[in-house]
Structure 1
Amino acid sequence: MGNVNRSLRGWANYFHYRNSSQAINKVRYHAEDRLRTHLLKRHKMKGRGAGLRLVPGVHLYRRHGLYKVPTRAGWNSAHTWA
């Protein structure tokens, strides 16, 4: 989890600017999906639908310590001189 969290945090800090909310959401969803898939394989459970019920998003962040990528861009404007 340490390497995954470092990568997510670095990506979010580098690309977290004005119009990146859609990209940030895609990265967050991908990280959740990959961790969920890993846990399902690790515990030999089948079915993605069951995985969403058995391993909800809150579980990924609280129990497994996945870095929560911010869902909204942090800056209101990027590189403006106003």
Structure 2
Amino acid sequence: MGSVNSALLGWANYFHYRNSNQALEKVKTHTEERMRKHLMKCHKVKDRGIGLGRFPSQQLYTKYGLYKVPTTAGWKSAHALACRTSESRMR
């Protein structure tokens, strides 16, 4: 779990900018599905519906400690503020 979280955190920090909401949502969904698939394999659960019930998304984060990829870009306002500041200096 440590190496998965490390990779997710690095990826999210690098690409977490203005118009990345859809990409971040896809990464989050893909990570949840892969983690669930891994847990189903370890616990010998073959039915996907049972796997969804047994390993819900919230449990992946609380019990197993998966890093929750942010799905909203946090830099939108900071970036806009920085642009306005540099534009006002140029004038």
Q: Into which bin does the TM-score normalised by the smaller protein fall?
A: over 0.9
SS of the residue corresponding to residue 81 of structure 1 reads helix
C-alpha separation in 2, matches of 1:22 and 1:47 = 29
Greater gyration radius = 2
- Residue-pair matches, total: 82
What TM-score do the two structures reach when normalised by structure 2? 0.84
Larger relative CO (CA 8 A, sep 6+): 1 or 2?
Answer: 1
C-alpha separation in 2, matches of 1:68 and 1:81 = 29
Whether 1:81 and 2:72 are equivalent positions in the alignment is: no
Note the 1:3-82 alignment, pairs <5 A: 3-76=3-76, 78=79, 81-82=83-84
Larger helix percent: 2
C-alpha separation in 1, matches of 2:67 and 2:43 = 22
SS of the residue corresponding to residue 6 of structure 2 reads helix
What TM-score do the two structures reach when normalised by structure 1? 0.93
C-alpha separation in 2, matches of 1:47 and 1:18 = 38
C-alpha separation in 2, matches of 1:40 and 1:81 = 47
Which aligned segments of 4 or more residues in structure 1 are displaced greater than 4 angstroms? Answer: 77-80
C-alpha separation in 1, matches of 2:44 and 2:71 = 31
Q: Aligned-residue CA RMSD in angstroms? A: 1.3
C-alpha separation in 1, matches of 2:83 and 2:73 = 19
Deviation, structure 1 residue 7: 0.2
